[in-house]
Amino acid sequence: MSRPLHRGSSGAAGERISGSSNDFWDSQMKDKTDKEDLERRASSDNNSIAFRFPIRVLFPDNSPSKHGNTGNGFASDPLIASTPRSRHKLALLLLKLSLVLIVILALTGSFWWTISISTTSRGHIYHGYRRLQQQLVSDLWHIGELSLGSSRLRDLEFCPQEFENHVPCFNVSENLALGLSDGNEYDRHCEYGMRQNCLVLPPVKYKIPLRWPTGRDVIWVANVKITAQEVLSSGSLTKRMMMLEEEQISFRSASLMFDGVEDYSHQIAEMIGLRNESNFIQAGVRTILDIGCGYGSFGAHLFSSQILTMCIANYEASGSQVQLTLERGLPAMIGSFTSKQLPYPSLSFDMLHCARCGIDWDQRDGILLIEVDRVLKPGGYFVWTSPITNAETFRRNKVNQKRWNLVHDFAENLCWEMLSQQDETVVWKKTSKRNCYSSRKPGSGPSICSKGHDVESPYYRPLQACIGGTQSRRWIPIEERTTWPSRANPNKSELAIYGLHQEELSEDAETWKMAVRNYWSLLSPLIFSDHPKRPGDEDPSPPYNMLRNVLDMNAHFGGFNSALLEAGKSMWVMNVIPSNGPNYLPLILDRGFVGVLHDWCEPFPTYPRTYDLVHAAGLLSLEVDHQRRCTILDLFTEIDRLLRPEGWVIIHDKAALVESARALTTGLKWDARVVEIESNSDEKLLICQKPFFKKQAN
């Protein structure tokens, strides 16, 4: 959780925004001068007026002022012409003068700091100048956002109906028109996507998802874009675990079919040398990346064993694996091995799983297997189920036999050990020993990445043809790591790898434990509306708990995720580390959570209506302190796209930023309120709920 930042004059401005009128300029035309106000203002303190006057120009307050201000936010003055036109011109002039004054003061301050270098400590000067600069940027941004007036605060329009399942940055037809091919047309191309500041409506017959555990195995057909033919023609092993009913799709993860997910998971455990899948935790397997996951049945089955499975698959306009998996409330995001590295750090997952995932691992000189190796922890497992791996099949098919031999030999050159091969499934184990790579025959496999190319947390960087992660301090075999749930609380020596002290993590953990208690006391009367409970009571067991998943937009150490688990909340968290902030994503993944690196000035790689709760602590401050390529309105419309109807938003930030953010929620049609934080007057909470609009776009 980010530390409190200093609040400047923008804080005073922010406190008045909730009382502002949207008809600010109209109210000026209607005001009349008041003789008593003139007399009071004449007797008021000139310094007080000089300080408050520009603030009131920008943020008029409808409440009576102790200085005798009139209803339009300006103090009466006998020197001001009484005509509405003159008052209007004066207001514009004063607004311009206020902005010029701020810039002059900033330049004066900067010059003063420069002159004082000869007499003051260099470190103190830099620190003070940096604070002044950051406060100026914050104040100018705050004024710039709000001085746009009613044009930015008006209600946003609803998007056209074709946007109901739209994912920005994934426009296959447009990519094809640009000449992209060989699978690149399905990849992420944000430079080609146009941002739409409109509100995405749900499908016509959309219904609120069923609550867990029922909602994990039964979803509404109308909530996703899939046809009956697509259900019947599903070819993936886990896709076949579906039954289409009149209004629902049911997923049978414990099917009596021979390839049922329960039997399949049991088979994988035995191939690793375990009794059954419930022993994955003891073998060091907590997080799994499921490539081309079908509709998430593999992860759904393992969820009850405390195994967290992240589904990734290509963008699909209809019948999407990712969309249906998310509708079940399970972890998923759009991801592709086509041309870019995944936005995960090296050495991230304990197991990678591919069951008929549609990827040709033998193609492109093995570069896709190198990416698998990069994100796999030392000692981790790669599980591949495909007709190509079936020995009986490829004996009769020379093409498949050649493809299998290429994958088999390349895996050996990556220092993977093949543990077992049964039917269509093969399991490899990544080496735990770094010296394995140097012991290979010269030229027998891909080289080790140089230090300059071994980027720990790439952000959609082109695929690399060298082995990454070998120089990381996080090279620790999964069998040597503490098992779950102890893994969630790293010890002193483990934290030293990330440059952290035990006290920092302990303080962060205590802060988030208190925050979760406070959040639940605010939300519990509402999120359990059909099973009411008093704040402080235990949560009712599912299906009454409405929150299945959380998007934490600025996860920091993953403390919010940890606190939710310790409080016994039955949900998973997508921990996002902003690309312009401190990168603690390796720590989050090593703690046994799931997360991703992301630039919040770009759309998140997922379908609309993904999350039940969106949480952002310190994100507005982080965005303001950096050079901005987008606005808070852009950020909020993206949150609205990601949030399911009747979902919740919690924003925790500086008081001034929260107040200005509150003004934007009107245009988004969110129900919102600002909550004071007793222990910290410099920060506030913004609690919002997205309404369920059944109205359809024309």
Q: Are 245 and 218 in contact (CB under 8 A)?
A: no
The chain-wide mean pLDDT, for the chain, equals 79
Q: Give the pLDDT confidence score for residue 4 in this predicted structure.
A: 38
Q: What is the pLDDT of residues 607-642, one digit of tens each?
A: 999 999 999 999 999 988 776 678 889 999 999 999
- CA-closest candidate to residue 221, choices 312, 319, 299: 319
Q: Are strands 416-422 and 425-430 parallel, antiparallel or unpaired?
A: antiparallel
Identify any residues that bridge with 313 across adjacent strands, giving them in sequence order: 334
pLDDT tens-place string over residues 198-241: 999 999 999 999 877 788 889 999 999 987 777 666 555 555 45
**From the CA atom positions of the chain, what is the Rg in Å?**
29
Q: What pTM, to 2 d.p., does this model score?
A: 0.77
Closest CA to 488 of 588, 578, 567, 364: 588
Helix%, strand%, coil% for the chain, nearest 5: 40, 15, 45
Identify the pLDDT of residue 7.
Answer: 33
pLDDT grade for 649, boundaries at 50, 70 and 90: very high
For residues 293 and 239, give the distance between their C-alpha atoms in angstroms, rounded to a whole number: 8
pLDDT at 114 over 70: no
- What is the arithmetic mean of pLDDT over 56-60? 31
DSSP letter for 626, please.
S
Q: Are 31 and 687 in contact (CB under 8 A)?
A: no
334 strand-pairing partners: 313
Q: Which tokens go with 673?
A: 């309120």
- Summary count for the chain: helices (H), strands (E): 24, 17
Cα–Cα dist 457/348, whole Å:
10
Higher pLDDT, 552 or 175: 552
Distance CA 411, CA 352 (A): 14
Can you tell me the distance from the alpha carbon of 370 to that of 364, in angstroms, rounded to the nearest whole number?
11
Please write the tens of the pLDDT for every residue from 180-194.
767 677 788 887 545
Residue 80 pLDDT level (bands cut at 50, 70, 90): very low
Q: How far is CA 432 from CA 97, 137, 437, 477, 676, in A?
A: 66, 48, 11, 5, 51
Burial class (CB in 10 A: 0-12, 13-18, 19+), 661: buried
Regarding beta strands 425-430 and 376-385, do their DSSP bridges make them parallel or antiparallel, or are they unpaired?
Answer: antiparallel
Report the relative pairing of strands 683-689 and 643-654 from DSSP bridges. antiparallel
Cβ atoms within 10 Å, residue 147: 14
Assign 562 a pLDDT band (cuts: 50, 70, 90): very high
Q: How confident is the model at residue 681 (pLDDT cuts 50, 70, 90)?
A: confident
DSSP track, 21-40? -TTHHHHHHH----HHHHHH
**Cα 347 to Cα 371: distance, rounded to the nearest angstrom:** 11
Mean pLDDT of 9-24: 35
What pLDDT is attached to residue 536? Answer: 58
- Mean pLDDT over 646-650 rounds to 94
